[in-house]
Chain A
Amino acid sequence: MFEIKGLSVNYGGIEAVRDISFTVEEGTIVTLIGANGAGKSTTLRTIAGLVKPRTGSISFMGENITGKDPSYIVGKGITLVPEGRKIFPDLTVMENLRIGAYLRSDSIEDDLEMVFSLFPRLRERSWQYGGTLSGGEQQMLAVGRALMSRPKLMMMDEPSLGLAPLIVRDIFSIIRRIKEEGVTILLVEQNANMALQVADMAYVMETGRITLSGPGNELIKDEAVKKAYLGK
């Protein structure tokens, strides 16, 4: 459903992403793992339309969406849960969720209900300002906000960053549930162990290139991956 071909992205003179290609099949979880500065966030930000690629093409459900505006891309059903959550601190929890559905003009009540059943904590705190939530709650809100756009493809940039192990487990079980709802997921993670466990397909990025790929349950046993990313 989603395909990247020969994508390169520059920041000024720096080549952050160099000629990468990969595909994401509908209804799967695909993960992109790699060290700091490998170009994972840049890849997601380019897909979301925040950064324009130098070369290469991005196509989604048969349509070439390379270089389109972020609002067009959101409208097509691709959403990004950004690195660092990026909750709007002076909007309430409810407003943060509503703004996730900014482009929609149909009723969003069912979606609110769905998000609240996924994250009961958010219902209790719906009148609180986003900035007053704990880190874990903010991550839940960021995921809930992204779901409000009714995405077909949800990209998540390090959702486990800075969270306690227990919360990380919660987040990953939510990721599985979102997949069961039929949403395709492209997940960037430092927590390679957890990511490889949930992923149907995984790609390893190193200094802007994809160096390794394979099903999650195979890569997790790969010696090189174990050494470099699983600390074993």
Chain B
Amino acid sequence: MFVSVDEKCLRLTDDSGERGVLLGMRCRQCGVHVFGPATFCQSCTSSDLESVELAQQGTLFSYTIVRVPPPGWPGQVPYVLGEVELPEGPHVLAEVIDCDHDALRVGMSVTLALQPVEMEGVANSERVVYKWRPG
């Protein structure tokens, strides 16, 4: 049984732990999208929002290869952190996996990729985390 790292941002769509969608909110008044939950529109303050599924593919707005990880980082070091711009507008920060560091380019296309992650030293802490993969 897989559990999403954050059920308000990522919904798993089957039991494989490999497929899911990023969730966001769209403002019915001004059309702006945000990633994750929202009660009020951050652009026009309207509360007339609908939840939406965001695109599976975006472009790499920027990236960095993190050599000194933050406390509690459960993955490998170094890791690539990407800021990805979705076609709906929001930017989503997450690890970029399965990539050749030298082949990374600002503006390249990336696709949502899910991976189960266990927090170091925390029992039963496995969560499915959203990441990006070139393509």
Partners in one complex: no
